[in-house]
């Protein structure tokens, strides 16, 4: 029989028998403890001992009866602070209070946490975690309007088309069926004048580049094979003619390209030359006799590879090849080369092979093309930047082959705007599916209560809220890039090209990482094709590679930043201009006083000026440090080539710091323009998450550079957690504001109940 003293042990007995974390060791611990308590009688000791015999466990109903009895006491007074309070209550003898510290030590010896053990007996549905839910603080329609901005009409035009029954998803695993469906979709888009939106009006177009990018971005909510096929036809193929050709080419081709009457390819990459396009080996040899070019693929490794529209539908291609006149190599130029006839039969001397199954984008017919001495007329050279005159002499306003080639590439930078915008749309789709699901999916929860929406778990918020914030930030950064590109002046091209290369890399990496989180956060459901995350993930996987390998692009961005930095230093020295670098330097000094490095007040941590300063500081210092390191390596006798190799890792940081700063700055600029309070304050919160999460990511750097002390970096981590928690009720509204048509979300797990 239980006495009041032995009843003191009842909750402990329940715990040791039921908790799956306790082992035989703990029985011994408890047993030894009992033996040593002089205030227990021998009867009480042996009674308790009898309940700790592993070979004679209590019955299941005994155990349940104990639990029931204890739980009823907890229900009457649910505010027990400690496990010992509960024990006392069970014993009903307050004089036993004197043994409190003994039992607290015992709890520790057993490895149990009293307050956690208490949860075994409580209904516990009064906790914060349980009672948190979706409750949005802003108007979704207003937020969508801010995101869509001045191209809302084009976006809505596209949404209407892709929501129509003709655009029902094609779920076949048969690549050929899928390809034909994608082509059919492209024809519909061409009919609706969505493909030629950027072409001159004279040739059927809309002369509206901003809308073209918006169209491509919005199509990305639907099917990414469609987007890439669309981008190959109207972007790469059509715009290569527009950018590299002249009036005679426009007149001959642009209308047909825009109507998809002339499907074509952009044949740049070769098997052995992808990132290093300057090294292309295909040749275009000028024949003086009949004023033609012979296009030739010297060896199989020089074949054009991964060419979209090549394997099935393309009739012509813009081919990049080294121009050869009289055995002199004039560098890479572009030529229009027919590859198939109207009946879709490949032309003689043009060898086309299918790239076969790919990880994704299987609705796009990528192929290889080899040219076996294919002869084309002279007029097929796209001759905006170089031409062969009547005498068969090479002419160009740009004497350097290198520079001419990069000038040509520069006109094609639009691809590096379209791709990240498409990638970001895919990230939006993934987040919309995952956050809606996480708001509805319940797993685990208090004893006896219903389970808890998984989005209430802090780790789940940590995985999904920062990507939402980044997605908003990148959205505005890409809009800024697009506008810069549309308004470009020649002297800005360097900067715009670097920004496009950088944002292409940064955004596509963001998409890859985000969709990875989405897949995992949706668990098994995220693995089923019906929920579309697999396709989003596999289709965008190659975005980090095409339009330039991300790692290579980041090196280019960093080189550009070092060059800008070197110039700015000399400007600073000369003191006749005051560059931002100089302005900022003064701010850094104030930020690095002992007060600021330790300031963990909420006001300071949430202050946009602090964020921007921290980003500028990092950008500046990291660039200076890379420049110095390169110089030191070279001064120490290292070949410059080797020196740049040694610092590659640091160069990536230079590029990242630059991009982080631009993205934050543009986000803040955008927020400044917003009047409406609720959306503004929501976006401010997202900007805070973006900024602090980035600072958390880079906290090692900030600590190494004494920009902050440990106390501050820890406070930033906690603040990110806190902001994620605060944003959680708005999470569903934030992804709804992306304005993705329900027909495109299509995932059963994303359906709103």
Which residues ranging from 594 to 623 are in contact with a second copy (CB under 8 A)? Answer: none
Q: Please report the beta strands in 372-479, taking only residues with DSSP state E, as ranges in sequence order.
A: 374-377, 387-388, 394-395
> Cα dist. 671→127, 202, 420 in Å?
35, 38, 22
Least distance from C-beta 469 to a second copy, angstroms?
A: 16
Cβ distance 565 to 385 under 8 Å? no
- Give whichever of 60 and 345 is closer to a second copy, judged by the CB atom: 60
Q: How crowded is residue 589: how many other Cβ atoms within 10 Å of its Cβ?
A: 10
Q: What is the residue-wise DSSP string for 475-523?
A: HHHHHHHHHHHHT--GGGHHHHHHHHHHHHHHHHHHHHHHHHHHHHHTG
Residue choice 214, 336, 431, 542 for contact with a second copy (CB under 8 A)? 542
Q: What are phi and psi of 296, to 5 degrees?
A: -145, 145
Read off the tokens for 690.
């973006």
Part of the chain binding a second copy (CB under 8 A), chosen from 92-100, 147-155, 566-574, 575-583? 566-574
Residue choice 528, 606, 608, 674 for contact with a second copy (CB under 8 A)? 528
* Subset of 52-81 contacting a second copy (CB under 8 A): 57-60, 62-63
Read off the tokens for 723.
């902001």
Nearest Cα to Cα of residue 143 among 692, 669, 677: 677
Cα 244 from Cα 15, distance rounded (Å): 77
567 contributes a contact to a second copy by CB under 8 A:
yes
Cβ distance 473 to 147 under 8 Å? no
Residue choice 2, 47, 330, 582 for contact with a second copy (CB under 8 A)? 330
- Give whichever of 574 and 673 is closer to a second copy, judged by the CB atom: 574
* Subset of 338-377 contacting a second copy (CB under 8 A): 355-360
656 contributes a contact to a second copy by CB under 8 A:
no
Helix boundaries (H) for 602-647: 602-605, 608-635, 640-646
* Subset of 15-34 contacting a second copy (CB under 8 A): 17-21, 23-25
Part of the chain binding a second copy (CB under 8 A), chosen from 281-289, 542-550, 613-621, 686-694? 542-550
Residue choice 541, 607, 665, 676 for contact with a second copy (CB under 8 A)? 541
398 contributes a contact to a second copy by CB under 8 A:
yes
Residue choice 183, 526, 707, 745 for contact with a second copy (CB under 8 A)? 526
* Subset of 83-142 contacting a second copy (CB under 8 A): 105, 108-113, 115-116, 118-119, 124, 126-130
Residue choice 77, 646, 681, 751 for contact with a second copy (CB under 8 A)? 646
Cβ distance 559 to 626 under 8 Å? no
Encoded one letter per residue, x for contact with a second copy by CB under 8 A and - for no contact, window 492-521 reads -xx-----------------x---x--xx-
Residue choice 157, 217, 401, 591 for contact with a second copy (CB under 8 A)? 401
Q: How crowded is residue 247: how many other Cβ atoms within 10 Å of its Cβ?
A: 10
Residue choice 135, 164, 344, 563 for contact with a second copy (CB under 8 A)? 563
Encoded one letter per residue, x for contact with a second copy by CB under 8 A and - for no contact, window 139-168 reads ------------------------------
Part of the chain binding a second copy (CB under 8 A), chosen from 12-20, 88-96, 195-203, 377-385? 12-20
Cα 540 from Cα 360, distance rounded (Å): 8
Part of the chain binding a second copy (CB under 8 A), chosen from 152-160, 267-275, 464-472, 677-685? 267-275
Least distance from C-beta 109 to a second copy, angstroms?
A: 4
325 contributes a contact to a second copy by CB under 8 A:
no
- Give whichever of 493 and 606 is closer to a second copy, judged by the CB atom: 493
Tokens 């359906």 belong to which residue? 751
**What 8-state DSSP symbol labels residue 353?**
E
- Give whichever of 159 and 728 is closer to a second copy, judged by the CB atom: 728
- Give whichever of 142 and 442 is closer to a second copy, judged by the CB atom: 442
523 contributes a contact to a second copy by CB under 8 A:
yes
- Give whichever of 91 and 550 is closer to a second copy, judged by the CB atom: 550
Residue choice 446, 582, 665, 726 for contact with a second copy (CB under 8 A)? 446
* Subset of 270-289 contacting a second copy (CB under 8 A): 272-276, 279
584 contributes a contact to a second copy by CB under 8 A:
no
CA atoms within 13 A on the CB side of 432: 28
Residue choice 233, 294, 303, 396 for contact with a second copy (CB under 8 A)? 396
CA atoms within 13 A on the CB side of 669: 11
> Cα dist. 289→322, 327, 331, 371, 556 in Å?
20, 15, 22, 21, 42
569 contributes a contact to a second copy by CB under 8 A:
yes
Read off the tokens for 429.
């789709």
Cα 462 from Cα 318, distance rounded (Å): 46
Cα 335 from Cα 530, distance rounded (Å): 43
Q: Which residues does 507 contact at the CB level (< 8 Å), separation at least 6? A: 420, 421, 423, 424, 474, 478
* Subset of 698-717 contacting a second copy (CB under 8 A): 699-700, 703-706, 710, 713-714, 717
Cα 374 from Cα 321, distance rounded (Å): 12
Nearest Cα to Cα of residue 427 among 515, 521, 528: 515
- Give whichever of 151 and 630 is closer to a second copy, judged by the CB atom: 630
């Amino acid at each position: 029989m239980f006495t009041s003293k032995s009843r003191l042990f009842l909750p402990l007995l329940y715990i040791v028998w039921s908790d799956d974390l306790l082992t035989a060791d703990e029985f011994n611990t408890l047993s030894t403890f009992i033996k040593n308590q002089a205030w227990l009688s021998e009867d009480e000791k042996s009674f308790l001992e009898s309940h700790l015999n592993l070979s004679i466990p209590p019955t299941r109903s005994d155990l349940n009866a104990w639990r029931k009895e204890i739980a009823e006491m907890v229900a009457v007074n649910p505010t027990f602070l400690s496990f010992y309070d509960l024990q006392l209550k069970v014993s009903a003898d307050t004089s036993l209070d004197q043994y409190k510290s003994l039992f607290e030590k015992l709890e520790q010896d057993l490895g149990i946490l009293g307050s956690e053990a208490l949860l075994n007996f409580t209904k516990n549905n009064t906790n914060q975690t349980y009672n948190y839910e979706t409750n949005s603080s802003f108007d979704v329609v207003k937020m969508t309007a801010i995101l869509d901005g001045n191209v809302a009409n084009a976006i809505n035009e596209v949404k209407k088309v892709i929501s129509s029954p003709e655009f029902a998803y094609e779920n076949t695993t048969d690549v050929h069926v899928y390809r034909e469906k994608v082509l059919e979709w492209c024809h519909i888009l061409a009919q609706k004048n969505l493909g030629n939106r950027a072409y001159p009006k004279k040739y059927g177009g809309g002369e509206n580049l901003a809308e073209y990018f918006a169209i491509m971005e919005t199509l990305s909510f639907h099917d990414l094979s469609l987007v890439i096929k669309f981008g190959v036809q109207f972007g790469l193929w059509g715009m290569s003619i527009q950018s590299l050709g002249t009036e005679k080419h426009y007149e001959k081709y642009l209308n047909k390209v825009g109507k998809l009457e002339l499907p074509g390819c952009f044949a740049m990459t070769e098997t052995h030359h992808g990132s290093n396009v300057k090294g292309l080996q295909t040749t275009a040899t000028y024949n003086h006799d009949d004023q033609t070019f012979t296009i030739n693929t010297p060896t199989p490794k020089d074949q054009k590879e991964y060419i979209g529209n090549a394997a099935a539908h393309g009739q012509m291609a813009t081919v990049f090849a080294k121009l050869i006149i009289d055995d002199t190599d004039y560098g890479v130029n572009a030529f229009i080369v027919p590859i198939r006839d109207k009946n879709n039969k490949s032309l003689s001397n043009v060898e086309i092979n299918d790239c076969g199954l790919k990880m994704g984008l299987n609705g796009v017919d990528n192929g290889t093309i080899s040219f076996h001495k294919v002869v084309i007329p002279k007029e097929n050279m796209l001759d905006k930047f170089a031409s062969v005159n009547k005498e068969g002499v090479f002419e160009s306003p740009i004497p350097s082959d290198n520079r001419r080639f990069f000038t040509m590439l520069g006109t094609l930078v639009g691809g590096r705007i379209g791709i990240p915008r498409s990638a970001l749309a895919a990230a939006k789709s993934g987040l919309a599916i995952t956050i809606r699901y996480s708001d509805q999916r319940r797993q685990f929860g208090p004893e006896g209560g219903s389970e808890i929406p998984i989005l209430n778990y802090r780790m789940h918020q940590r995985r999904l809220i920062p990507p939402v914030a980044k997605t908003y930030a990148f959205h505005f950064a890409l809009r800024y890039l697009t506008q810069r590109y549309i308004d470009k002046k020649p002297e800005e091209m360097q900067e715009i090209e670097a920004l496009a290369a950088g944002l292409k890399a940064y955004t596509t990496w963001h998409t890859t990482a985000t969709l990875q989180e989405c897949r995992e956060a949706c668990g098994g459901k995220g693995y089923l094709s019906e929920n579309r995350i697999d396709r989003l993930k596999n289709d965008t996987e190659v975005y980090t590679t095409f339009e330039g390998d991300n790692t290579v692009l980041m090196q280019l961005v960093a080189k550009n930043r070092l060059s800008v930095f070197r110039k700015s230093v000399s400007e600073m020295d000369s003191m006749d201009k005051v560059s931002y670098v100089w302005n900022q330097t003064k701010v850094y000094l104030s930020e690095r006083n002992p007060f600021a490095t330790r300031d963990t007040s909420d006001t300071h941590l949430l202050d946009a000026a602090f964020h921007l300063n921290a980003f500028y500081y990092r950008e500046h210092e990291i660039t200076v440090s890379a420049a110095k390191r390169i110089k030191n390596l070279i001064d120490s006798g290292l070949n410059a080539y080797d020196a740049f190799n040694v610092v590659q890792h640091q160069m990536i940081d230079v590029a990242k710091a630059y991009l982080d700063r631009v993205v934050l700055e543009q986000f803040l600029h955008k927020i400044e323009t917003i009047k409406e309070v609720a959306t503004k304050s929501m976006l401010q919160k997202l900007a805070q998450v973006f900024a602090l999460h980035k600072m958390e990511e880079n906290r090692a750097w900030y600590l190494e550079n004494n920009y902050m002390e440990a106390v501050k970096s820890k406070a930033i981590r906690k603040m990110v957690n806190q902001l994620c928690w605060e944003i959680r009720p708005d999470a569903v509204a934030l992804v709804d504001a992306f304005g993705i048509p329900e027909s495109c979300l299509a995932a059963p797990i994303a359906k709103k109940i």
